[in-house]
Amino acid sequence: MNVIKRSGKEVDFDDNKIRQAIIKANNSVKDLTLCLTDDEIEKIVKSVVSKCDNFGRAVNVEEIQDIVEEEIMRMGSYRVSKNYITYRYKRELIRKSNTTDDHILTLIEGQNEEVKQENSNKNPTVNSVQRDYMAGEVSKDITKRFLLPEDVIEAHENGLLHFHDSDYYAQHMHNCDLVNLEDMLQNGTVISGTMIEKPHSFSTACNIATQIIAQVASSQYGGQSISLAHLAPFVDISRKKIYKDVLEEFETLGITNAENKIKEIVEKRLHKEITKGIQTIQYQVVTLMTTNGQAPFITEFLYLNEAKNEREKDDLALIIEETLIQRTRGIKNEQGIWITPAFPKIIYVLEEDNIKEGSKYYYLTELAAKCTAKRLVPDYISEKIMKQLKEGSCFPVMGCRSALNPWYDENGKPKYYGRFNQGVVTINLVDVACSAQDLNDFWKVFDERLELCHKALRCRHDRLCGTPSDVAPILWQHGALARLKPGEKIDKLLYGGYSSISLGYAGLWESVYKLIGKKLTEQAGQELGLEIMKYMNKKCEEWKKVENIAYSIYGTPLESTTYKFAKCLQKRFGIIPGVTDKNYITNSYHVHVTEPINAFDKLKLESTFQSLSSGGAISYIEVPNMQNNIEAVLSVIKFIYNNIMYAELNTKSDYCQCCGYTGEIQIITDKNNKLIWECPNCKNRDQTKMNVARRTCGYIGTQFWNQGRTQEIKERVLHL
């Protein structure tokens, strides 16, 4: 068993430290009749060790001290307990005088386990990541001491809510974007003070797109999405350019009456350019390192019906085809082995002319199915269902799931690209349910917590108000989101529904079970779950009506937060079977990962909840290796098209660098009761010598997850 110190460093559990702390408190009591005996001290130590061991994970110092207090009180020695509490309080005052140094030092030395496990796509040993984390520690400290109200900070620390991305809050930064790549490519942009004009070829357009992606990623902290349809017009520009070159070559050689041959050569060269352009995007995205120390969190949107005419649609199909082929192949790691990259994330839109066998673009859907079976992407949006939910429009989510609602310009035209999300605050629904005395009391507590979240969301919004466009020219002045003047404030983009702000939620499954003892898969549980979702929507509408700010509810993709919430729940309420007995809580409205349910029933059930989560959500099914059963993948894809707006298939894609094993790398429990990854072939446990790819929150991560998320992955049941 291990202990996580306040600095974040993980060390071996040492029961003698507990013993010595109790002895010191005991010795400080002057009246010997009020002291603990040696036997009583040993009983306390054994009880503390037993309770810590039952957590099934590394415990932190605060948790241990809470248990020590309880056990001393249980022994009836109130004077010793009082002295122990007083000692803790004095130490806390000393620590509060400097809140960042220890965290930064352990971070620099690579000893901070919490930071190591915070983001599975960041390597905390790399200087650029450390620099970002160091800045983040300062931002968190400033945010905690100066920028946020005390009740919001207290609620965040106790796990009642989560104020996302406080490590960036001190700066005037926002969350996710739908990048207006079309405007930037067609009308030009400026990158680092350099004018970038409209490109004259497809390959140049791809190269510029990657530069835009990098610049945008360095100017905000969330995900961004681009549409490949915005690259499609440049295919024909290259076609015409290549045609002119080939024609000149034939004329130089004196060859005439060879139009068919010329066209054949043109298409071959064009295909090579498309291959090169897509390869540029793939490799530049995975090799670029943004200022926050990771590859850009970028999503590519593959939607045929965004093309403006049939020629452009066919050209877009060529781009999509090449994208899927290259992603299925993967990228090479240091050993030259083809592996699954985390980014770009890919979303493939299912529509009438690619979902039915025999339809013109069905071959693309077959390619998508093969890619999903091998590389976990693409994810799928149903054009039919999205149009039902989004006023006849179909458009990408931002990053992994953050979704906008329809917005119309002065001409009544819907606009999506160039819009963004201001930020997220997530309510811990499980804590609301556990804090309530009964179902009637739940709604009262729920109201109080929602208002606290509302207060925190207003802090996010108000922090962005007054931001000058100069803070991020690529976003606000040069087309990614707007073309404001230098010095102009972004305020008009924060109101009227142009941008969104998200009330996140987590743990619907556990909260319903706590309240009525029913699962979401049962009729009564489903009805209560939907009622809770509708109530959050009602609150968002009330806030929006008064403030003209686009609040919407958002199915939070908890990564590190799922572990934090679980620990806070166990501390506040103890272990409640089916509610707080895991080291994680369930993402958004999802069916619990341990619940046996088939893929089609799960997607159908979750579609009812997804339709109420207008600010973003995604559903998934867990599947085994499907590379030899593409027909089954296609069956699921067709079901998605007819039943749910946005869904994905989670398969396995692992590689052991020690022995070359390419099957599923397993999660086991080591001698310290810690979950670790192990190659089933050579027993390699070195996380730096394996490539594990799992989708955890709508996007693909690697093996550096925290213990809560690792337990959740381990306990997933197959749905197919």
Taking 50 as the pLDDT cut, the residues of the chain under it are 120
Give me 121's structure tokens. Answer: 């796509």
pLDDT single digits (tens) 555-595: 988 777 888 899 999 989 999 999 999 999 999 999 999 99
Check: CB of residue 297 under 8 Å from CB of residue 700: no
635 C-beta neighbours (distance < 10 Å), count: 15
Question: Using CA atoms, how far apart are residues 178 and 715, in angstroms rounded to an integer?
Answer: 34
Active site residues: 175-176, 398, 400, 402, 421, 554, 559, 698
pLDDT digits (tens, 9 = 90+) for 375-390: 999 999 999 999 999 9
What is the per-residue pLDDT for 568? Answer: 93
Strands 10-12 and 550-555: unpaired
Residue 262, CA atoms < 13 Å, CB-side half-sphere: 19
Task: Enumerate the H helices of 548-649 as residue ranges.
Answer: 561-573, 599-610, 630-643
Nearby residues of 530 by Cβ (< 8 Å), 6 or more positions away: 608, 609, 612
Domain extents in the chain: 2-118+125-156, 157-174+422-467+490-586
Q: What is the distance between the alpha carbons of residues 164 and 184, in angstroms, rounded to a whole number?
A: 30
